[in-house]
Structure 1
Amino acid sequence: MPKYALNCPPLDTTPRIARDFVASVLRALRLDALVDDAVLCTSELVTNSCRHAKSSGAHLLLMTTPEGPVRVTVYDDDRTLPSLLQGYDGVSGRGLWIVDTVTEGRWGTEALGASGKGVWFEVGKG
Structure 2
Amino acid sequence: MPKTISTTDVPHTYTLYCPALSTSPRIARTFIATVLRSQALDHLNEAATLCTSELVTNAVVHARGPGATLELAIEATYVRVEVRDSDDRPPVLREGYDAESGRGLWLVDALSEGRWGVEPGETGGGKAVWFELRTCGGMEAALKRGEAQG
TM class by smaller structure: over 0.9
**Displacement of 1:87:** 4.2
Q: Which runs of 5+ in 1 are unaligned?
A: none
Match of 2:102 in 1: 93
Match of 1:24 in 2: 34
Q: Distance in 1 between matches of 2:70 and 2:15?
A: 6
- Return the index of the structure with the highest Cα Rg: 2
Residue 47 of structure 1 aligns to a residue whose secondary structure is helix
Residue 115 of structure 1 aligns to a residue whose secondary structure is coil
Give yes or no for contact 1:63–1:71 (8 Å, CA) kept in 2. Answer: yes
Aligned-residue CA RMSD in angstroms?
1.4
Q: Deviations over 1:13-44 (max 9, x none)?
A: 00000000000000000000001000000000
Match of 2:3 in 1: none
Does structure 1 residue 83 correspond to structure 2 residue 81? no
* 2:83 aligns with one of 50, 62, 74: 74
Higher relative contact order (CA 8 A, sep 6+): 2
Q: Distance in 2 between matches of 1:61 and 1:89?
A: 30
Percent sequence identity over aligned pairs: 53
* 1:5 aligns with one of 8, 12, 15: 15
Match of 1:42 in 2: 52
Q: Give me the TM-score of the superposition, normalised by structure 1.
A: 0.93
Q: Which runs of 5+ in 2 are unaligned?
A: 1-10, 137-150
Q: Distance in 2 between matches of 1:14 and 1:47?
A: 8
Aligned length: 125
Match of 1:54 in 2: 64
